[in-house]
Amino acid sequence: MRSSAVRRWVLVGAVVSSALALAACRPSSPGPAFTEPPPPPPVTTLGQFKAVLINGGGLPKVNFQSHLTHVRTLVDFLRANGATDDDLTIFSSDGSDPRADLATRADNSEPDAWLLPVPVAHRLRPVQYIDSTVDGFTLLPATTAALTNWFDTEGRQLGPGDTISFSVCSLREALKALIAQERALMAIEAPNT
């Protein structure tokens, strides 16, 4: 019996000394709680910020409404994140020309038309052409000449530490425009000789 009582006291002593040792390891006052570092500031607050949004520029039949919807969504996103309308330039189709330049199937009188074979669905909802617009903006034509002009004017005002963001929502004519942008950007960065 004596040995079991001794064992019990040894076990109690081991538990108590372990608890005291662990308690001694804890700091007397709680340290600062871990917090995540703050997020970096938005690029719209660092130097100048410019966003160039490009959509369409080819034939009206390939300037799709979904692409202009992406531009409008991006405008809303940029505004919500600190960009002003003066920071945004939109090149879209034929610019502010009021002629119809946007292909749409806006008539949604047959919402289940997508279930039908494509030729039948297209007969129920034929393509309609409307004018491209983005509320609050005068659209510039999505042409190489217009993009080159932007780089020669506004683009030249950008310098080290400034941010320029490009968004291309339609690739047909935009590839030619991107090449022109690259050349204009290289001209901006090249030292004057």
What is the rounded CA–CA span in Å between residue 179 and residue 36? 41
Predicted pLDDT at 183: 66
Predicted pLDDT at 193: 46
Helices marked H in the chain: 2-25, 65-80, 118-124, 144-152, 174-189
Helices marked H in 26-128: 65-80, 118-124
Buried b (16+ CB within 10 A) or exposed e, 19-39: eeeeeeeeeeeeeeeeeeeee
HSE-up (13 A, CA, CB side) for residue 9: 5
Predicted pLDDT at 153: 92
Predicted pLDDT at 162: 87
Instruction: Give the number of other Cβ atoms within 10 Å of residue 164's Cβ.
Output: 17
Decide if 70 contacts 184 (C-beta within 8 A): no
Let me know the angle formed at the C-alpha of 56 by 52 and 60, rounded to the nearest 5 degrees: 155
Domain boundaries, the chain: 43-189
Distance of CA 27 to the CA centre of its chain: 46
Decide if 142 contacts 174 (C-beta within 8 A): yes
pTM check: above 0.85: no
Predicted pLDDT at 91: 92
Predicted pLDDT at 149: 93
Predicted pLDDT at 37: 85
Answer positive or negative: Cα dihedral of 70, 71, 76, 77: positive
Residues 6+ apart with CB under 8 A from 152: 184
What is the rounded CA–CA span in Å between residue 186 and residue 173? 21
Predicted pLDDT at 1: 54
Tell me the one-letter amino acid at 62: V
Predicted pLDDT at 18: 66
For residue 143, give the 3-state DSSP assignment: coil
What is the rounded CA–CA span in Å between residue 93 and residue 143? 8
Query: In the chain, which residues have pLDDT < 70?
Result: 1-3, 5-6, 10-32, 43-44, 106-114, 116, 118, 121-122, 124-125, 170-193
